[in-house]
Amino acid sequence: MVDAAILTAGPDDRGELVATLSAAFQNDPALSWILPDPAHRARALRSLFTVLVPADMRAGTALRSDGGAAAALWRAPGRAHSGMGEFLRTLLPLLFIFGRALPRGLKVQGGIDAHRPTGHFWYLHYVGVHPDHQGKGHGGRIIRAQTAKADAQGLPCWLETATPENVVLYQRLGFETQVEWDVPDGPHFWGMLRQPQPV
């Protein structure tokens, strides 16, 4: 099998990124807790990533595997926390997407915001592999494409995950758990930091 190339996504790739990420996160523990009904969750995820993909592309960079196998949204150093302008742009769409599930969504986001470090680092906001392509190494390849750039810049990387199986994958990629927390009555999270590696 020939490895799919890792490419920087542009505006014309937004639809592919939305499709890949919404499929990849269908069974995510945190999003499943926020949106328990699978059919509603599938619709909501497409709407959610339709909002998040352009916002994260403005704040950093998006990567894609040629063919749509994997996608990653990275927020640039100093841009991990959304500013007031971004908050106002996304508030109404998010209210519409989550509806009565919004309080759960705010609980999850509040925990993430409270445990994310300050300072300059590349923030892996979302990374996902389409279910049809999982288990083939696409996730590791698309993450390494950006961590190599962070290494060249001498910058750390940060991520959160609520998926226990992903912790080992991220450890193999150089991330180390810095903090763990539980959303009240909800999922468990790991916050993981990767220090820059010598190039």
pLDDT tens-digit readout, 108-131: 999 999 999 999 999 999 999 999
Question: What Å distances lie between residue 67 and 18, 74, 76, 148, CA to CA?
Answer: 13, 19, 25, 22
Taking the C-alpha atoms of residue 28 and residue 126, their distance in angstroms, rounded to an integer, is: 11
pLDDT at 2: 40
Taking the C-alpha atoms of residue 138 and residue 135, their distance in angstroms, rounded to an integer, is: 8
- Protein fold of 6-194: Aminopeptidase (3.40.630)
Tokens of 75: 């927020």
Contact status, residue 160 vs residue 190, Cβ threshold 8 Å: yes
Taking the C-alpha atoms of residue 152 and residue 175, their distance in angstroms, rounded to an integer, is: 17
pLDDT at 97: 87
Taking the C-alpha atoms of residue 66 and residue 141, their distance in angstroms, rounded to an integer, is: 12
Sequence spans of domains, the chain: 6-194
Taking the C-alpha atoms of residue 1 and residue 138, their distance in angstroms, rounded to an integer, is: 12
87 confidence band (pLDDT: 50, 70, 90) = low
Taking the C-alpha atoms of residue 59 and residue 77, their distance in angstroms, rounded to an integer, is: 9
pLDDT at 1: 34
- Average of per-residue pLDDT across 12-28: 97
pLDDT at 82: 73
pLDDT tens-digit readout, 166-195: 999 999 999 999 999 999 999 999 999 999
Phi and psi based region of residue 71 (left: phi greater than 0; alpha: psi -120 to 50; beta: remaining): beta
Whether the per-residue pLDDT at 15 is higher than 90: the answer is yes
122-141: b or e for each residue (b if 16 or more CB lie within 10 Å)? bbbbbbbbbeebeebbbbbb
